[in-house]
Structure 1
Amino acid sequence: MLFPRRLQLARRVRRDSRLLTTLGIRREDPARIWERRVPLTPMAVATLLEESKENAGGSEEELRVQVESCKRRCFADSAYVQAGATIVPSLEPSVDLVLGIKEPPVPSVSSLLDQSDKKRTWMVFSHTHKGQSYNVPLLSAFMEKSKHQDLIDYELLTAPAGEKGELKRVAAFGWFAGAVGAGEALSLTGLALLKRGIASPLLHLPRPYTYSSLNEYKAALRHTAQILGEDVAAGKIDLSDQPVVIGLTGSGNVSTGAKAMLDELGVDWVQPEDLPGLRGGDKVPPSAYFTRTDGAPYQRADYYANPTQYRSDFAHKIAPHITCLINGAGWQTGFPRIISSADLDGLIESQDRKQKLVAVQDVTCDLKGGLEFVDRHTTIDSPYAEGPGGILISTIDILPSELPKDASEHFSSKILPYVRQFTRGGVSPETDPQVRETLHRATIVRDGELTEKHAWLAPAVQAWRGSSTSSTGQAAPSDSGPRRAAEVKRAKKKVLLLGSGLVAGPAVEVFAARKDVHLAIGRSPSNNLAEANGLIRNHENVEAFNLDISDADKLEQAVSNADVVVSLLPAPMHTAVAKHCIQHARHLVTASYISPEMKALDQAAREKDVLLLGECGLDPGIDSMAAMRILDRVKRNGRRVSSFVSWCGGLPEPSASNVPLGYKFSWSPKAVLTAALNEARFKINGHIRTIPGERLLAEHFPKVDLWKGLALEGLANRDSIPYAEKYGLGPVDGLKDLFRGTLRYQGFSRVLESFRRLGLLSSAPFAVVPSSWADFLRLAIGQATGEDVARVDHLRSVIAAFLGEQAAETVEVLQWLSLLDAHDVARLPKPLSKVPIDNFAALLALKLAYQPHERDSALLHHSFSLAPLHPTPGDLLASDSNDAERRNDTVTASLTCYGTAEASAMSTTVGKTLAFAALRVADGHVRGRGVQGPYEREVWEGVLDELESAGVRVEEKWDVRGE
């Protein structure tokens, strides 16, 4: 029989593609008692079976559906039977496509694979694509080449949306989270009011999960509204003095879902400015509580461009008048919080602990985020915790599971087009391009091997297979790769942290969160014992012990007992630690620049299969990682970098900067001072410049205009030229700019240059230890100027003669530092060293310390100019014209991180980066050996992902042709 050409092509594609004949819907892990959702509803199953029947024409290729029996599921087994599916106790080996919601237990996957080598596709929320260590065993189960398994993750199903075609997730549950969150908030408010001695109809409103559908819950809300209205009309309830007032934040799907439920309740929506008079509330827009620090009104575009210039007045304008807050507004580091912990404490105290606000439902579940005081998750079983002032706080992170049928119907409709593709012959050249690309982006494993995008996960699987072999005694799969002794020695990974100083806290928290890690903190006996004990807190897997780093035998013993050593010691001490690591085959991770002395250990480390990983902090660290992520994409898109300019700095927040130097210390004072004396080399506007260390402060960049409202200046940061090779930018000759700089507030360099000239930053020792601070200043100035400053009262005249116009400001600062005021000097500890810079660093650490209420910030900004990898004649002509910059594509990356009451921005960005990098090494994700920086994908990708999960996010902006 002859077919039309179009039909012939379709039949050929069906024969050549792997036609799906059996679809399986798995039963969710019994341990997930509240997971009642399904990936496909019975109606969707019936639709697929009917379509298959029509297409197959009664042939053996007709689709079959198996459903594992489950009595907990929101759709009964009988509903699937009516749809045409077969109920089975467990999926049979013949199944071609397995669908589920959450990740399946490894034994259930292995059981099916052991019965058959059949080619098969799995679609679930696997939680494996970020290298999550707890799910590496699951990923490994799919990666048996002989089993031919494919793994597709729902979370990675993305498709273009909106005018700009930005990739958005295909299936999102925000609306349901908001709807259920509103229901939980209403019930919570009823209970909270009862605790305050006030009864309301909300007390009798059952929680959303007690209803079988969204419509039933809506009906319950309407019924509650009716009863409330009748009781008020009959005088049974008088709410004139104490109305139930609900504030709702956010403007996305979450707040839309919440608003829909509140509308069912019949609430009156009022404007925020009417709150004081009405004693009522509204869906609160950002303009109602965010204002610029200069008093200008809220503008959305300006807010997102300059978040640091805004403050939140929610605690003063809105919170005093509302009973319940439903938070649906997302938050990112660097943006003002809606309510800080301090704001809430102030509200509670101002109302004598009888504040109107009694309930908070944080639908975002962003711990310590927009609502800083929200610090824990709650569950459906235990839905609330008591917060400050007795406020009941709920943060349930699986809210859509409370209305499983409706959520499942929504989810099923979203993934159906992609499931249908498999029932019609699989993905082929004839597949709709958008569907094909969406499935391609979501595929983690194909035919038992990681796809190119996820190849970086291979070392984690290899390390886990090796580790499981050592602990079970069973042979690892043949394709698991060689096992390293240091990676598989113990099931419990042992980390040694050297140092317990300013940036240790967040690092300890990261390690302590991993129950498969034991952290030992080796602290110097001279350090504050309370500080070290504070790091331990109630962590069962953390201990601290005294360790004198100068005692080589004790240091060696401590290193030998660890798997990975993390050093927060001063950079010159790393080399001694590294030698012990090499001797005992232990890995080392630091946040410091790689010194020549450390680099000299490269070959010895490689021979012992040891990794000495440096530059894993902020700068160096996050700056390089963020740059490598951008450069990876630039290269994949066939472009090259023509200009790279980077700025980074740790600074006080503006309100804490009104001190000399405009600076306060959240890390080593001596390191800050010595960094301002390093020689610098860079390329600007096609010319390479070198600035000697003694000229660095004098030749600073007086204005760096990156963040609106911040008066910044900059210093060139060491030698930028080697970064052309480190980052893979190509020959330096091909770059117009290659520059790395350090940010400070304007005025820093001018004052510090005066100090340098006066000898306060000198490393040349005095002949004697100064007897007082006045004596210290006299010795330093005398040594620097060559003047015989015999008497302290001669200092002002010597300074005036030596510094000229800069003398007056310098004298004022020296007075503030108590170096020219005998009364204040008497209250300072005496200088302890012959070395001027050591004494001066100690003094600055004391005088320029952060106060308890002050925060610091970490700022990072990269700017790239891009050009075609192979320029056209037109591009070459443009490169010599004034039109060049307009023709070039640009990319920027920006980080703004603010400190909190718990941790400074510097300790967060340095400590967490260091810890995440160390854990990647401990988990076997990093294959490199020898002396390395964070320039390989196996380091930077995973660390940046973990940092983003922890709220430290580098935002990228691409202005690139064709994207």
Structure 2
Amino acid sequence: MLQRGPLKLHHRFLGRRHITLGIRREDPKRIWERRTPLTPSGISSLLSSSRDLEVEVESCQRRCYPDNAYLSVGAKIVDQLDKADVVLGIKEPPADQVRRLGDRNRKWMIFSHTHKGQEHNMSLLNAMMETKQTLIDHELLTTISPDGEKQERVAAFGWYAGAVGAGEALSLTGLALLQRGQATSLLHLPRPYTFQSLQEYKLALRRTGDACKIPVSGGSKPIVIGVTGKGKVAQGAMEMLDAMGVQWIPAGQLSDVQSTNSNGIFAYHITPSDYLVREDGRPYYRADYYAHPNFYRSIFSAKITPYLTTLINGVGWNDGFPPVMSTSDLNTLVDAEAGKQKLVVVQDVTCDLHGGLEFVDKHTTIDQPHFIGPGGVLISTTDILPAEMPIEASDHFSRCLLPYVGRALGLCDASTNQRHLDDTLKRASIVDHGQLIEPHRHLESKLEKWRIATGTSIVSSSSVAPSSTKTTKIRPKKKVLLLGSGLVAGPAVDVFVQRGDIELAIGSNNLAEAHALAGGRSNVTALHIDVSDQSALSNAILTADVIVSLLPAPKHPSVARLCIAHGKHMVTASYISPEMKSLHHDAVNKGVVLLNECGLDPGIDSMAAMRILGRAKREGKRVTSFVSWCGGLPSPECADVPLGYKFAWSSKAVLTASLNPATYKLHNSIHHIPAGGIISHPFTSLDLWRGLNLEGVANRDSLPYAAKYGMGSVENMDDIFRGTLRYEGFCKVMDGFRKLGLLSLTPLYREPKDWEDFLMVCAEQTMRDADIKGQNWEGLLGREGEDVVNALKWLGLLGGKFTLASDLPLPQTKIPIDITAHLLGHRLRYLPKERDMVLLHHTFHLVPNTISPLPSPLNAPKVPPQTFITTPTISQNKLPSELAPMGINFSEHNSSDVNHEGERHPERGMKVTASLVHYGDGTSSAMSITVGKTLAFATGRILDGHVSSRGVIGPDDPNVWTGVLDQLEEVGVIVKENWGV
């Protein structure tokens, strides 16, 4: 490690007196990222070296060192870094922040995660070049050995990643063993982030290690921990295991330990020569392996895995290298042991998805530290492990980084070879004043592919060093036409305008609303479009690449026909109607995709289901039960209104949905509910989330989803049910409205004079034999009459304190449901500072697939129109009154596979759940966020060429849901999965 000496200002830096260093605030979505690149002590050292240096620190309440600690050493606390000449951070900044600070060349010192051509950060690299910034990557700050053969990083968190990774692996092992019937002292070991210091954690490890050595009655099998790698990661992990007092196993004695009944914890350091063999039988040789990795294969799963309880992987992996352990290797092991293999935990500290451990296919987080892999193995792969020990990790990193930050600022270090510092910074530089420099010019080809895929404009100046003769050009922007300016449009517009490669036109019959959504932004225009004017609509569609329709669902087919005629793609959030489905062949022949059901429900619900079903199929499981609930509701603090409901989207659509027929299967019986019947037979007391009093109704026809999602035939499933959530009491009041004729589709026989007369006319027309004139409303409505009457008074329909006479005129229509929707949309609207929430909950039961193979969920056959069930009768008199997410619970039932607690018997197999709770953010409603952003992200998938399907499709297409779910998670809309609950 370099020793810090006195620093002096090098006055030739930038040719001016003052220099400003900025410490950036890590992105808010990285809630656990509390590290800092320079501690207050490091800042103090820099400031004491020169009066011409200023340090600005972006205010952050999460950082492990508070703002006051930086203030006390002379730094300035700011909201944003406008003056910084050098911007210092940990993780990569958003590309938009780079552009915002692109008014002049700045040096950025960060972990950019771009030098391998990582696709998810090509936008950041492009922004650095576009704004002529300089990018220095922490990961590439290396010293070179005297022989020139080895580079060693000078500022890294690898040791802490290994140390925390070992701790997480030990805690997870305690949980995994408990799940298999073995309680150990590891179960009581807290996770690393709960300790204030590394020393405290080591003491806890020692206590736990001593407890594990105490004999237990009946004996126990030894716990064996394997550690791969030779670098800092492995060193950190091994030091934590030493602190626990593990017994290290000599090479070749793994099988000997396995055969003993010794309790305690053993560890084995696994080197590449232990498991890599050359195909021609020659021994492993490191230089040969790196030169010819294709000559080698791994025997890890056969030689080592059968003896390990836990694997801590700290060995790096690159493209072209053989996997340490493949997915098929692990599946073979699990099958051979009938799911009772010794291996129960895999902690992959390297986080190379589909890399050295091929079956590691997604990242975990500190909040959700593991997922369940083949054979029930608990897998953890969190890429910010050092953030669990933020103070000590930051102290170490700051000491290592300080001389290089000083040199980047133009300061001279009297104790250090200046040429050494300059050479190190040069090796770590990827972009210099907007130009790729050696050895990173190869990234230009990856950037070019990314620009083509995203339609991003190439900057006008050369993007590589002057020796390059590459010419540049401007790519035409992609054009999106958004039809509609209603409640869900805002978040969709926000997504589109954040992409610099899109020009958006908002077409609406309310031009003022369209202009408000455009907000004066340069890449958005507002158009007045009346969709009934087919000629004007056709001309607007002709100018776009993709049309996003937020129009009422019945209008989608006419828009789709024009899209087919002009060869344009279309995206909607609505269900695929029979009329829309009839356009499939025409769309295929014209090479057009008509993508539907890309909202919340339908939309995110299908995408979340497909992700679970894809994994289930890979693991050889089939679905015996699928129960899904979804709904948009007011947040509990603002739900004290009739219906317990407020409208964050179309009030007419909500009322219409409550009248739909429904078909579903529960407990191996199919139920059919006719139109208008679902609100008369709600599922009550749904215990989905603690503290929420919920009820629900069946949502349309659930049966086709068995084929649509690739779950097999309905006959082979016990349950397939999709429902809509509401607060308790909604259905009671809504059914009262139905009985009074307020939801009728039949025109009124005369125009009502006022709102109270509207109620009277509706009731007279619907309840012809009742004594309407007597107005004994409670008697007319039965036992729920009091609640309904109270709602009518609150709404102003029964002479309550509230009067609608001057506040809300009657709409010019005789259709009762339209008039009621107008009233409810006004009275049950969200007020300023009120927020809504959306809820989604799936429950699957999975069993080993012992019957015919499942259709692939990734390519599920589309359901033909004639397979939809429209039986108009209820098949049973007794309907279920409760449907809970952790099993199906009935107040009255005679099903033999439900116990007294409402849980399925163990033979039902594994239970998997997926849930989403998302709140409005004060600017946009949760409903508009989940619908609008899902629509926009799905549109982006088409624009970027990721969707190859043509015709009428839904979000179950893998090229849609895979990317959209990832993008939704990036903006905080996260569907959490729980496997094996």
The normalised TM-score by structure 2 is 0.54
Closer/same/farther in 2, CA of residues 362 and 209 from structure 1, 3 Å limit: closer
Match in the other structure for 1:409: 155
| 2:175 is equivalent to residue 429 of structure 1 | no
1:423: Cα distance to partner?
3.6
- Bigger drift between 707-716 and 806-815 goes to 806-815
Match in the other structure for 1:180: 38
Match of 1:564 among 546, 552, 560: 546
Match of 1:509 among 494, 497, 522: 494
The 1-side partners of 2:69 and 2:137 are apart by: 17
Cα contact 1:249–1:326 (8 A) shared by 2: no
Match in the other structure for 2:507: 522
Question: How many residues get paired?
Answer: 603
Give the counterpart letter for 1:749 in structure 2. Answer: C
Match in the other structure for 1:675: 657
The 2-side partners of 1:177 and 1:503 are apart by: 37
Match of 1:847 among 816, 827, 831: 827
> What aligned pairs does 1:801-840 form with structure 2 within 5 A after superposition?
801-821=779-799, 824-827=803-806, 828-840=808-820
Give the counterpart letter for 1:689 in structure 2. Answer: H
Give the counterpart letter for 1:952 in structure 2. Answer: V
Match of 1:897 among 887, 896, 918: 918
Cα contact 2:230–2:315 (8 A) shared by 1: no
The 2-side partners of 1:540 and 1:774 are apart by: 49
The 2-side partners of 1:668 and 1:613 are apart by: 21
Closer/same/farther in 2, CA of residues 656 and 492 from structure 1, 3 Å limit: same
| 2:702 is equivalent to residue 720 of structure 1 | yes
The 2-side partners of 1:714 and 1:703 are apart by: 9
The 1-side partners of 2:89 and 2:797 are apart by: 51
Match of 1:612 among 585, 594, 610: 594
> What aligned pairs does 1:133-152 form with structure 2 within 5 A after superposition?
none
The 1-side partners of 2:792 and 2:99 are apart by: 47
Closer/same/farther in 2, CA of residues 324 and 502 from structure 1, 3 Å limit: same
The 1-side partners of 2:594 and 2:54 are apart by: 54
Describe the SS at the equivalent of 1:694.
coil
Match in the other structure for 1:748: 730
Closer/same/farther in 2, CA of residues 445 and 418 from structure 1, 3 Å limit: farther
Give the counterpart letter for 2:910 in structure 1. Answer: D
Cα contact 1:565–1:586 (8 A) shared by 2: yes
The 2-side partners of 1:365 and 1:929 are apart by: 37
| Residue ranges of structure 2 left out of the alignment (5+ in a row) | 4-12, 14-29, 81-87, 109-132, 144-152, 162-228, 234-270, 273-285, 302-312, 324-349, 363-445, 460-473, 853-894
> What aligned pairs does 1:847-886 form with structure 2 within 5 A after superposition?
847-870=827-850, 885-886=905-906
| 2:560 is equivalent to residue 575 of structure 1 | no
Closer/same/farther in 2, CA of residues 185 and 608 from structure 1, 3 Å limit: farther
Give the counterpart letter for 2:544 in structure 1. Answer: A
> What aligned pairs does 1:720-799 form with structure 2 within 5 A after superposition?
720-787=702-769, 794=773, 796-797=775-776, 799=777
Give the counterpart letter for 1:509 in structure 2. Answer: D
The 1-side partners of 2:457 and 2:946 are apart by: 18
> What aligned pairs does 1:35-46 form with structure 2 within 5 A after superposition?
none
- Larger helix proportion, structure 1 or 2? 1
1:632: Cα distance to partner?
0.6
Closer/same/farther in 2, CA of residues 744 and 604 from structure 1, 3 Å limit: same
| 2:528 is equivalent to residue 546 of structure 1 | yes
Match of 1:937 among 945, 958, 967: 958
Cα contact 1:643–1:865 (8 A) shared by 2: yes
CA distances 1:43-90 after superposition (whole Å, capped 9, x unpaired): 9xxxxxxxxxxxxxxxxxxxxxxxxxxxx9xxxxxxxxxxxxxxxxxx
The 2-side partners of 1:795 and 1:202 are apart by: 91
Match in the other structure for 2:936: 915
1:805: Cα distance to partner?
2.4
RMSD (Å) for aligned C-alpha atoms: 5.0
Give the counterpart letter for 2:964 in structure 1. Answer: V
Cα contact 2:507–2:514 (8 A) shared by 1: no
> What aligned pairs does 1:256-335 form with structure 2 within 5 A after superposition?
258=65
Match in the other structure for 1:496: 481
The 1-side partners of 2:699 and 2:954 are apart by: 17
Closer/same/farther in 2, CA of residues 444 and 561 from structure 1, 3 Å limit: farther
Closer/same/farther in 2, CA of residues 445 and 817 from structure 1, 3 Å limit: closer
Cα contact 2:845–2:911 (8 A) shared by 1: yes
CA distances 1:236-282 after superposition (whole Å, capped 9, x unpaired): xxxxxxxxxx99865xxx63xx3899699899xxxxxxxxxxxxxxx
Give the counterpart letter for 1:629 in structure 2. Answer: R
Closer/same/farther in 2, CA of residues 623 and 382 from structure 1, 3 Å limit: same
| 2:717 is equivalent to residue 697 of structure 1 | no
The 1-side partners of 2:759 and 2:586 are apart by: 46
Match in the other structure for 1:956: 977
Describe the SS at the equivalent of 2:724.
strand
- Bigger drift between 748-757 and 422-431 goes to 422-431
1:912: Cα distance to partner?
0.3
Match of 2:577 among 585, 595, 607: 595
Cα contact 1:326–1:362 (8 A) shared by 2: no
Closer/same/farther in 2, CA of residues 325 and 750 from structure 1, 3 Å limit: farther
> What aligned pairs does 1:629-640 form with structure 2 within 5 A after superposition?
629-640=611-622
Describe the SS at the equivalent of 1:627.
helix
Closer/same/farther in 2, CA of residues 467 and 364 from structure 1, 3 Å limit: closer
Cα contact 2:455–2:477 (8 A) shared by 1: no
Describe the SS at the equivalent of 2:843.
strand
Cα contact 2:455–2:501 (8 A) shared by 1: no
CA distances 1:803-860 after superposition (whole Å, capped 9, x unpaired): 1322222221111101112871312212321100000000001100100110001111
Match in the other structure for 2:630: 648
Give the counterpart letter for 1:805 in structure 2. Answer: R
Closer/same/farther in 2, CA of residues 543 and 377 from structure 1, 3 Å limit: closer
CA distances 1:749-804 after superposition (whole Å, capped 9, x unpaired): 000000000000000011333232122111100111015878xxx3632x233213
1:411: Cα distance to partner?
5.8
Cα contact 1:796–1:811 (8 A) shared by 2: no
Describe the SS at the equivalent of 2:670.
strand
Give the counterpart letter for 2:155 in structure 1. Answer: E
Cα contact 2:453–2:944 (8 A) shared by 1: no
In percent, how many aligned pairs have the same letter?
Answer: 44
Cα contact 2:629–2:724 (8 A) shared by 1: yes
Cα contact 1:176–1:399 (8 A) shared by 2: no
1:578: Cα distance to partner?
0.3
The 2-side partners of 1:495 and 1:767 are apart by: 44
1:865: Cα distance to partner?
1.0
> What aligned pairs does 1:217-232 form with structure 2 within 5 A after superposition?
none
1:743: Cα distance to partner?
0.6
Give the counterpart letter for 1:819 in structure 2. Answer: L
Closer/same/farther in 2, CA of residues 404 and 462 from structure 1, 3 Å limit: closer
Closer/same/farther in 2, CA of residues 559 and 764 from structure 1, 3 Å limit: same
Closer/same/farther in 2, CA of residues 586 and 705 from structure 1, 3 Å limit: same
1:203: Cα distance to partner?
12
